[in-house]
Amino acid sequence: MPNITLSGVAKSYGGGDYAVKNLDLTVPDGAFMCLLGPSGCGKTTTLRMIAGLEQPSAGTIAVGDRILDSVERGLYVPPEKRDMGLVFQNYALWPHLSVRENVEFGLRMRKVPAPERRARAAAALKMVHVDAAMERYPSQLSGGQQQRVALARMLAINPTVLLLDEPLSNLDARLRLEMRAELKRIHDESGATIVFVTHDQLEALTMATDIAVMNEGELQQLAAPMELYARPANRFVAEFVGSPPMAIVDVGAAPTGLAGSLLRFVESRAAGCAPAGIGIRPEALRLDPPPDAAWSEEALVEAVLPAGSSWTVRLRILDAELYALSYTPVEAEPGDTLTCWTDQMHLFGEGGDRISSWDRTKVGA
Amino acid sequence: MALLTKAETPPPPPRRRRLVYRLRVLRHDPTAALGLILVALLAYLVVAPLVAVVSDAFRLQYGDQVHAGQQPGEWTGYYLWRVFRSQISGLLFWEPLLNTLVVAVGTVVFAVVVGGGMAWLVTRTNVPGRKWLAGALVVPYMLPSWTFSLAWLSLFKNERAGGQVGFLQAMGIRTPDSLAYGAVPIIITLGLHYYPFVLLLVGNALRRIDAQLEDSARILGAPQRTVIRRIVAPLMLPALSSAVLLVIGRVLGTFGTPYVLGLPADFRVLSTGLYQSIRDRSTGVASVLATVIVIIGILIVFTDSRLMREHRRFVTVGGKGAMDRLGDLRRWRWPAFALGLLVFVLSVLVPVLTLLLSTVTRTPLDLSTFTLDFWLAERLPGAVGFPHGVFRGSELWTAAWNSLRIVGLASLICALCGLLIGYVVVRGSAPRIAGFLRQVSFLPYLIPGIAFAAASLSLFAVARGPVPALYGTTFLLILVMAVTHLPYSSRSGIAAMMQLGREPEEAAQIAGASWWQRMRRIIFPIQKGALVTGIVLPFISGLKELSIVIMLTTTGTELLTTLSIGLVDYGYTQLANAVVLVIALVSFTMTYLTQRLTKSSLASGLGG
Ligand SMILES: Nc1ncnc2c1ncn2[C@@H]1O[C@H](COP(=O)(O)OP(=O)(O)OP(=O)(O)O)[C@@H](O)[C@H]1O
Ligand SMILES: [Mg+2]
């Protein structure tokens, strides 16, 4: 099964604004790709363009050699001929058809004979564990069941590409966890290429094989989850991925305070390096006794916020306020002074792009 | 990776390329084509007639060359002069205008006093039988509007117009002309028909007022009277002004009542004047009158929407169902109930029973002369044009069949168009087409029915281009009737499609269904309910429709309503009454059944 490629894709809904600007994206065969980004960044638009429900203003969308959209060459394949599955955020089940009829619909359209149709619909429903509710109508199902039926409806036609638009956002926390695992399983079993839209970074990090981070219609970074986390391409990705987010200290012309302290440390490591911003992830800001080759500074504890398995500590370091995330109990009280240290930093250049990351435990990047 | 700086928007592909691509997309998506077809249809059926009637008002018609000293087809101010400034303009325009104003103001006052009072009674007080009253008091609106005028004649008619005299006259009590015909009876009968309109609108508004608003005022120390003056009244203003303006608009376009009760006393209003001009074949004058009515109609609705916009800031938030505390009438409870009952008796029982009795007695309402001849007799001595009971002979059945067929088809077309308009608007691939459809399909709402019929005549009475003259054809009737009811069905169609959203269809598209399959298997089945309401509501109001069809029917295309008016013309009061009773029965039964079956309220069908 070939790759999905988007090249130079732009979309404007009329007026001057672009919902998607010049997007180049390749979804590898068999990938589980997440489109991740804040609300309104063009994720749904991108997904709908791949499905053919929305037409790009410029650019080309192809699956393997088959061009689905090409504004430049005037080529277009309508959605009903694309053989993709799309699960809508609000499920969009057909209220006048029973669960079974909903799932059989796509097969009926493909003129699959009745016995096979039934068998395949039953199998798809079994896969998502709603085969017991086969003869019910969508209004008689719970939200979670409706969502599974929507999924089964698309699985039944064995799509090579499955598009999912925030399918888990309407579920409660427990069901969401369950469905994440189930989606992973379905991905493994069916071998389909999945493109999954979400604005929940945890969802993206736990499920995806590849993550495409978007902001304001632009692709920010395309990488594997841990790569994305370890080496964010720019300040936006760095701040968007991770919770609590990475703190980025701006380095001005003549930095003082925390910025000055960090810059002196960086320059002592790599002479001539002139970052415009230095980022530290909360969990990289440590409170245990510092090793030798690390940056360290005195910090005033402002608040300790325990959260069961982890502790978030608000610290005042020189002129700045930072969060530290610890997975071991923090004994300090507000007002105490501690030594904090880090051996992991991300350096960002003038335009916001990452210049390098420094990590003592791994060899630099 | 210099991503942030890189992602400039690319230069858009050349225009020609984009066009090729767009065309390719359109070939696979019939929505755009459907939108264009609907646009063309509406332009032809709604916009073109209006253009035609306005242009007819300024062009010299055949036959007027001598008077105007111009050639037919030339631009002329002759008709404007004739209508507004000539010696006969008083008769043609100013007097009918004045009469129209008198009738409109009188009807509004009557409807507001009765409707507003009853609305308050059934929503805000503990009057006994509140629920029943609320339902029963709406019944007059389900009867054809001129039912009341026929009932009035059966009671008060004197010998002036010939034919059977009314009950009072037959008893030997002379009824003066001013009581039998003209402004007074027209105002009363129209008022009886339109007060439910006020009751529904004002009642809804009263129901929505949050009791907490009043409570807070009371807690702050305002006495009951102040609360009503400072809180309730301002909140009622939007609904009230809306009701007033809409009643005026309706009165402006209504034909039956002023025709039945006005003409015998030479009491002309704009609508009957327009009708006569058309019957007299003075097309130019008729066009000017129609244009004037159209303009007044549009002004009224604009005023209404302007007022509504100003009042929008009054809209109370979340006052749903808060009206559970009712004013206690104490010892006025039963008198209040008696008053409500009286209104019901006067507006429903009296007219209907009068009509019924008049059709089963030879001497009006004298039960000793009981007879079923007017319904069943093989031969009625003395009646020339219609020499038998209404159920005998073919006239009633032909008219009923015509009504059923024509109104039914028109409603079907109307509902389908409404749904398709909703579909195109919601798919919204072309905002400009959607906007046009939304607005133009609503246009007939602004135009009093009789003026729209006149406009349609202007366009379709003569052959234009490849379109033959349609006057007198069933086809024209169906078209005009469908178009005039389009505002309601397109609004409900848009609402239904909006509620559904585009996703169910897109899901089907993704699943591989072609456009036709999506329509047949997804859209129409889901919208079945909306479609049925979209058919039934125009059907009910179309059955009672007279103003629109009166100018378009000919002997071959007689409808129930025009049959009844025709019998009035002949002076066969009892027969006319019998036919109206048939219409009233059908329309009432259907409204009742629809409300029962679809749980839709009459308020949404206010189009009637
Ligand atoms: N039909 C439309 N017409 C006009 N603008 C639109 C339309 N659909 C989306 N947009 C705009 O395009 C931009 C991207 O929208 P999109 O729906 O792709 O965002 P999203 O990333 O899916 O956001 P969310 O996470 O909130 O779903 C937004 O600014 C939105 O307002
Ligand atoms: Mg979205």
pLDDT in tens, A11-23: 998 777 889 998 9
Of the two residues A348 and B529, the one the predictor is more confident about is: A348
Q: Is residue B537 part of a domain?
A: yes
The CATH number of residue A319's host domain is 2.40.50.140
Q: How confident is the model at residue B607 (pLDDT cuts 50, 70, 90)?
A: very low
Q: Whole-angstrom Cα distance, residue B56 to residue B274? A: 14
ipTM of the complex: 0.84
Q: How far is B530 from chain A (nearest CA, A)?
A: 14
Is a pLDDT exceeding 90 seen at residue B87? no
**Which range has the top average pLDDT, A273-287, B295-309, B458-472, B553-567?**
A273-287
Contact map slice: A 280-309 vs B, CB within 8 A = none
Report pLDDT digits (tens) over B327-336: 777 788 888 9
Residues A26, A173 within the same domain? yes
A329 touches chain B (CB under 8 A): no
pLDDT above 80: residue A241: yes
Number of residues assigned to chain B: 608
Domain boundary among A206, A232, A258: A232
Q: What is the mean pLDDT of chain A?
A: 89
Tell whether A36 is covered by a domain.
yes
**pLDDT at A30 > cutoff 60:** yes
In B2-121 the beta strands, taken as DSSP E runs, fall at: none
Residue type, B448: P
Phi and psi for B299 in degrees, rounded to 5?
-55, -45
- Tell me if B503 and A88 make a contact (CB, 8 A cut-off): yes
Any residues with CB less than 8 A from the CB of B198 and at least 6 apart, and which? B111, B112, B114, B115, B116, B119, B240, B243, B244, B247
Distance from CA of B12 to the nearest CA of A (A): 6
Say if residues A196 and A33 touch (Cβ distance below 8 Å): yes
Which residue's CA lies nearest to atom 22 of ligand 1? A44
Query: Confidence class of residue B311 from pLDDT cuts 50, 70 and 90?
Result: low
User: Which residue has the least CA distance to atom 1 on ligand 1?
Assistant: A13
For A359, phi and psi rounded to 5 degrees? Answer: -140, 115
B39-48, B132-141, B426-435: which is most confident: B39-48
Domain membership of residue B420 (yes or no) is yes
Average pLDDT over residues B524-550: 85
Res B316: pLDDT: 45
Task: With residue B36 as reference, give the H or E element that holds it.
Answer: helix B30-42
The DSSP bridge pattern shows strands A32-36 and A210-215 to be parallel
Domain that holds residue B437: 31-50+80-317+338-365+389-605
Is A94 a pocket residue for ligand 1 (Cβ < 6 Å)?
A: no
The reply to whether residue B24 touches residue A74, judged by beta carbons under 8 angstroms, is yes
A203 and A315 assigned to the same domain: no
Question: How big is chain A, counted in residues?
Answer: 365
Give the angle subtended at the CA of B419 by the CAs of B414 and B425, to the nearest 5°. Answer: 125
What does the pLDDT read at residue B9?
64
Distance A39 CA to ligand 1 centre (A): 8
The C-alpha atoms of residue B377 and residue B553 are separated, in whole angstroms, by 27
Taking the C-alpha atoms of residue B516 and residue B203, their distance in angstroms, rounded to an integer, is 44
Contact A81 B512 (CB under 8 A): yes
The candidate with the shortest Cα–Cα distance to B364, out of B582, B178, B156, B146, is B156
Tell me, what CATH number does A76's domain have?
3.40.50.300
Q: Which pLDDT score, from 0 to 100, does residue B600 have?
A: 53
Inter-chain contact B512–A55, Cβ cutoff 8 Å?
A: no
Considering the domain architecture, whether residues A260 and A164 belong to the same structural domain is answered as no
> What is the token pair recorded at B594?
């629809």
Q: What is the mean pLDDT of residues B83-99?
A: 86
Exposure class string for B358-374: b at 16+ Cβ within 10 A, else e? bbbbeebbeeeeeeebb
| A56 shares its domain with A13 | yes
Judge whether B370 lies within some domain. no
What integer pLDDT is reported at residue B1 of this predicted model?
A: 38
State how far residue B46 is from chain A, nearest Cα, in angstroms.
29
Tell me if A38 CB under 6 Å of ligand 1.
Answer: no
In a domain, residue A242? The reply is no
The whole domain housing A295 covers 247-363
Percent of chain B whose predicted confidence (pLDDT) is above 70: 91
Please judge whether B3 and A72 are an interchain contact, meaning their C-beta atoms are less than 8 angstroms apart: no
Neighbours of B309 (CB within 10 A): 10
- Please check the confidence at residue B590 and state whether its pLDDT lies above 70: yes
Ligand 1, residues A45, A166, A203: which to mutate, most atoms within 8 A of Cβ?
A45
Q: Answer yes or no: do A198 and A128 share one domain.
A: yes
Q: Which of A69, A109, A233 faces B517 most closely, judged by CB atoms?
A: A109
pLDDT class of B102 with cuts at 50, 70, 90: very high
Closest CA to B520 of A285, A78, A105, A6: A105
Strand, helix or coil for residue B289 = helix
Chain B environment of A233 (Cβ under 8 Å): 1, 3
pLDDT at A61 over 90: yes
Residue B196, classed as helix, strand or coil, is helix
Confidence of residue B606 (pLDDT cuts 50, 70, 90): very low
pLDDT at A114: 93
Per-residue pLDDT tens for A34-48? Answer: 999 999 899 999 999
Nearest CA in chain B to A7: B10
Distance CA B287, CA B290 (A): 5
Per-residue pLDDT tens over the stretch A261-294: 998 888 888 777 788 899 999 999 998 888 888 8
Give residue A77's pLDDT.
Answer: 93
Which tokens belong to B172?
């030997």
Confidence of residue B568 (pLDDT cuts 50, 70, 90): confident
Calpha distance B416→B490 (Å, rounded): 9
Q: Is residue B476 part of a domain?
A: yes
When scoring A21, A23, A96 by the number of chain B Cβ atoms within 10 A, the one with the most, hence best to mutate, is A96
Q: What is the pLDDT of residue B608?
A: 34
Mean pLDDT of B533-559: 83
pLDDT score recorded for residue B318: 43
If one residue of A34, A43, A200 were mutated to test the ligand 1 pocket, choosing by the most ligand atoms within 8 A of its CB, it would be A43
Taking all residues of chain B, what is their mean pLDDT, rounded to a whole number? 82
Specify whether A311 is located in the same domain as A179.
no
Please give the Cα distance from B606 to B593 (Å, whole number): 16
- What is the layout of strands, in order, in the sheet containing A75-76? A18-27, A4-12, A58-63, A66-70, A75-76
Contact assessment for residue B507 and residue A85, using Cβ atoms and an 8 Å cutoff? no
Torsion sign across C-alpha atoms A252, A257, A260, A263: negative
Contact A228, A234 (CB under 8 A): no
